Amino acid sequence: MTIDGATLNFEEDILGSIEVGKLADFAVLEDDPMAMDPMKIKDIDVAATIIDGKIVYGQETFQESN
Query: What value, to the nearest 5°, has the Cα angle with vertex 56 and ends 36 and 40?
Result: 15
Q: Which domain holds residue 53?
A: 23-66
Q: What is the pLDDT of residue 65?
A: 55
- Give the Cα separation of 47 and 29 in Å (integer): 5
Domain for residue 63, yes or no? yes
Residue 3, in any domain of the structure: no
Residue 7 belongs to a domain: no
Global pTM? 0.64
What's the pLDDT tens digit per position in 9-56?
Answer: 999 999 998 888 888 888 999 999 999 999 999 999 999 998 887 889
Q: Does residue 31 lie in a domain region?
A: yes
Bigger pLDDT: 53 vs 8: 8
**Residue 2: pLDDT above 90?**
no
**pLDDT the model gives residue 24:** 80
In a domain, 13, yes or no: no
Is residue 40, in this structure, part of any structural domain at all? yes
Q: How much is the pLDDT for 60? A: 60
Count of the separate structural domains present in the chain: 1
Query: Do 45 and 29 touch, CB atoms closer than 8 A?
Result: yes
**How far is C-alpha 39 from the chain's CA centre?**
21
